[in-house]
Each structure stands twice: as structure tokens, then as C-alpha cells.
Structure 1
Amino acid sequence: MDSISLKALAKINIGLDVTGIRDDGYHEVRMIMQTVNLFDKLTIKKTADGSITMSTNLKFLPVDSDNLCIKAAELLIKEFGIKEGVHIDLEKHIPVAAGMAGGSTDAAAVLFGVNKLFNLKLSKKDMMERGVKIGADVPYCIMRGTALAEGIGEILSPLPPMIKCPVLIAKPGISVSTKQVYQSLDACFDTVKHPDIDGLISDIKAGDLKSLCNNMGNVLEEVTIPLHPIIADIKANMMENGAVGAMMSGSGPTVFGFFDDNKKAKSAKEALTKTGMVKQLYLTTIFNNKN
């Protein structure tokens, strides 16, 4: 095998709670992570000269060691003393810096691809243990599906698959500073409303979409939305157009909406398009490991 083509799937947070701040500055979290069928495409090819290079369809993305894809390839090639190199071509569709683990899922795909290309025989667990060295979300992006993430996001517990439903994903044309969001949260940590993560887990086990949407919560909305009110406007538009529930993913600014009917979801997509509030808009579905 000289090349491999892969899909790197995005994630959303059905629930996101921050439970504390560690002495090293990292935040303790409890999050429910969910993979969706929105993906980047990667092609990884062996190169004879030992170089690790990269190309992408987005000119503003780094293609050097600042990119997690390069870091992932370097990690395995160095560890296993591989003499050949790789070229990674990334076709980016997942919104960038949008709370959807786009960079982490690309890195996870590279770990998977290099493992296959060079027959390293690493298990999923092996790759997850290496992935955390690249980023806290990388192990989850290797696992995929529905999972509870704790610690700084690296302690993962698989959950039963979430009910499959249409998902509308919308990113406005703004950027959010994750650092600024967490600094704002720190300043009001004692007064924010924390979501019921255990209740959400019960809803997932029961397959109850309506109850899940009623219980969804993201503690970071309380600080991100005042900084970027358009997020609340997008949520409201989705709800007005038939979403069972809508919420910001991660630290934002991406908003997702769950629908119980594909026709409603398509109509909501058309309505949101007309507002001009969003730069990227996708209608997709829930992914689970039984897909």
C-alpha cells in the first residue's frame, strides 16, 4: 500500500460542563461528545525521500509543524524509525476554529493512516495513548461515536449510540478566542448554570430526543454569547424553524440544531441561508460506530 484516503469526522458537544480549574491552568470538564457525518478528506502517500509534507485547499492553514497533521505523522515516523516519509493532502470542509475538533480529527486520521500504510499494527487504544500527546480531543476523534469525556477531555467512557437524527450545523463569519472564553468563564465561575450531564446520559440511553434537547447545556454559552450575540440569533432561528433543540458546540461559534424530521431540517437550512447570518452551513446526520 503506497497511499490511503480517509474521512476525518467532526464532533459536537451535546453537553459541556466545566467543573473546576487545575493548578496548572487547565480546566476540568465533563462533556458528552458526539461524532457527526461532516468530514474532511485526507489522502496520505508514502514518499521515498523521508520528508513529511502537506498541502491543503485552504491557503490560510499552516502546512508545517504548526499543523497537527504534521505532528501526528512525525510522532509515529520518529517512534518507529521509519525511513520513508509521507505527503498529506487535506481537503478541508469542517469549519476551522469552530468548536468541532477539526484539527484534532485530522490528526487522528493521520495516526490511523500512517499506522495502516506502514503496517505498524497499533490498536485503537495504542493510537489513543499517542494521540493525547498531540491534543486532548485526538483520542476521542480516534474512538468516535458517543462518549463521556472527563479530566481535561482525555478520560473517555463510551456511551450507547445516540438516536440518529438530522443535524443542521451553522458557523457565522466570526472567530472566537477559546482562551478569552475560558478567561471570561473563570471570572464568573461561581455564578454560571451547570448542565445536567448525568441527565443527558439517561436521555441517550432512553433514546429520548425531546428530553435530551430539553436537557442540553453548554456552560461556555454564558460567556461566549454575550461576546458574540449572533450565536443566540442563529439558535433562535433554528428553533423558530422546527429544531427540537439547538446549542453552541465547544467554545463556539458553531451552532447545531437537532431535528426529528428531515423535511423540517431542509426547510430550516433554507430559512437560515436567507438571513445571511452564517458563512458555512451543513445538513448532516448523527454518526455512531454501528454506521
Structure 2
Amino acid sequence: MDSIKLQAYGKINLSLDVLRQREDGYHDVRMIMQTVKLHDNIDMQKTGEPGIRLTTNLSFLPVNENNLMYRAAKMLIDEFGIKEGVSMQLKKVIPVSAGMAGGSTDAASVLYGMNKLFDLGLSVNELKLRGVKLGADIPFCLMRGTALSEGIGEVLTPLTKLPICPIVLAKPAISVSTKFVYQNLHVNVLPESSHPDVDAVITALKKQDVRAVAENMGNILETVTCRNYPEIESIKSKMKELGAINSLMSGSGPTVFGIFADPETAKNCYQSLRYGKDKNLCKQVYLTEPWH
């Protein structure tokens, strides 16, 4: 195999709770991750000339060791002493710095692609062990589907899949620093009601009850972001006004997603946020569904 085409899928969090800050500075989390069909496209080719060449459709993205894709390729080149090189072309679709693991899913796809291109013979679990050194979301992006994520995000338990349902994604024209969110999250002083009921979402998934999944969603990081970035709360409220069963911020934001009971209502919400009277609330809007 000399080349491979890959689809790198984004994720949302159906529930996100932070339990405590660890002594190493990381946070112990308990969250439900869900892959969605919105994806980046990656083309990879072996090259006779050693080294890594990365190009992208977005001029502001780094194409050196500041990019997780580059670091993922270099990790395996160094470990296995690969003498050939690799050329990678990224077509970015997932919003950047949006709480959807866009960089992590690209890196996960590169680990998978390098493994195939150079016949490294690594299992998915072996790729996960390497991926977590680059980012806590990478193991899930290799696994995909629906999963309970614990520890710093690397302890994964597969869950019953979220049934196919329409999902609207909307990112406002702001960037949110994950570091800022966690630095301003004071878990020990938050009331118990701030913590989402993760188990209720797991139960709803087992029952394949989309409405109950949506109604029980929660994200403790909203206690920081919605206070500092009112745009996020505005999008959440607008999605519910336009018929979402519920809406939630994904990860540390600022992307908001809404889960809908039927395609027509979801399409109307998408149209309003993308082209209609509510288009000023968002910079990027997508209509998608769970990846199975």
C-alpha cells in the first residue's frame, strides 16, 4: 500500500463531569463521548524522500511539530526507524478549537494510516497507548462510537450506541481556551446540582430513548463558559426555541449542539442559524447525525 484516504470524525459530549483536579494538574473526568459524521478528509502517501510533508486547506493551521498530525507521524517514524517519508494532505471541515476533538481525530487517523502504510502491525489498543501520549481524546478517536470516558479521558468503556437522530452543530465566532476553562473551574465549591447525571444518560442509551438522552445531558464546564461567553447560552436557547429536545456545549466549547426528534425540525433550525434571521449568532453551522 502506497497511499490511503481517511475520514477523521468529530465528537460531541453527551455528558461531561469533572470530579477533581489531580496533583499532576490534570483533571479526573467522567464523560460520555459520541462520534458524529462530520469529518475531515486526510490523504496520505509514502514518499521515497525521508521526512514529513503536511499541507492543509486552512492557511492558519501549523504544518510542523505544532500540529498533532505531524507529531503522530513522527512518533511512529522515530519508534520504528522508518526510512521512507510521508506526505499528508488535510482538508479541514470540523471547526477548529471547537470542543469537537478536531486535532485529536486527525492525529488518530494519522496513527491508523501510518500503521497501514508501513505495515507496522499495531493493534488499535497499541495505537491508543501511543496516542494518549499526544492527547487524552486520541484513544477515543481511534475507537469511535459511544463510550464512557474516565481518568483524564483515556479509560474508555463502550456504551450502547446513540440511535440515529438529527444533530445541529453551531460554533460562534469566538475561541475558548481549554486551559482558561479548567483554570476557572472550581469543582470543590460548585453545588451538587452543577454536576450532570452521567448515569441517567447511560440508562437512556441502554433503553435507546433519544429524548431521555437529550433531556439528561449536562456539561459542568458550562459553569465557566456560559458566564464568560454569553454567545454560547444564546445559541443553546435559540436551538431549544427552534425545536431541539435539548442543547449543550461540547467539550470546553464553544461549539453547541442540539439533538432533535425529527429531521424536518432539525433542518429548519439549521436553515435559520445558517442562512436565516439567526445567522449572526454563529460562524459555522452543520447538520449531522451520530456515526455508527
**Normalization by structure 2: what TM-score?**
0.97
Identity among equivalent pairs (%): 55
- What secondary structure is seen at the aligned counterpart in 2 of 1:286? coil
1:177 corresponding residue in structure 2: 177
Amino acid at match of 2:12: I
Which of 280, 284, 291 is equivalent to 1:287?
291
Label 1:132 to 1:214 Cα distance change in 2 as closer, same or farther (>3 A).
same
1:27 corresponding residue in structure 2: 27
The answer as to whether partners of 2:19 and 2:187 remain within 8 angstroms in 1 is no
2:164 and 2:141 mapped to 1: Cα distance?
19
2:270 corresponding residue in structure 1: 269
1:88-107: CA deviations, max 9, x gaps?
11000000000000000000
Amino acid at match of 1:31: M
2:227 and 2:134 mapped to 1: Cα distance?
31
1:181 and 1:118 mapped to 2: Cα distance?
39
2:62 corresponding residue in structure 1: 62
**Normalization by structure 1: what TM-score?**
0.97
1:238 corresponding residue in structure 2: 239
Alignment of 1:204-219 (within 5 A): 204-219=205-220
Alignment of 1:57-136 (within 5 A): 57-136=57-136
1:116 and 1:212 mapped to 2: Cα distance?
36
1:12-45: CA deviations, max 9, x gaps?
0000000001011111000000000000000011
1:55 and 1:20 mapped to 2: Cα distance?
39
2:173 and 2:231 mapped to 1: Cα distance?
10
1:160 and 1:50 mapped to 2: Cα distance?
43
Alignment of 1:130-279 (within 5 A): 130-186=130-186, 189-191=189-191, 193-273=194-274, 274=276, 275=278, 276-279=280-283
How far did 1:180 drift?
A: 1.1
1:100 and 1:272 mapped to 2: Cα distance?
19
Label 1:243 to 1:187 Cα distance change in 2 as closer, same or farther (>3 A).
closer
CA RMSD of aligned residues (A): 1.1
Structure 2 runs not aligned, ≥5 long:
none
How far did 1:190 drift?
A: 3.3
How far did 1:189 drift?
A: 4.0
1:165-206: CA deviations, max 9, x gaps?
011000001000111111111277433610011111001110
How far did 1:239 drift?
A: 0.7
1:208-234: CA deviations, max 9, x gaps?
111111110000011100111111111
1:93-123: CA deviations, max 9, x gaps?
0000000000000000000101111111111
Amino acid at match of 2:164: K
Amino acid at match of 1:164: I
What number of residue pairs does the alignment pair up? 288
- What secondary structure is seen at the aligned counterpart in 2 of 1:239? helix
- What secondary structure is seen at the aligned counterpart in 2 of 1:185? coil
1:167 and 1:71 mapped to 2: Cα distance?
32
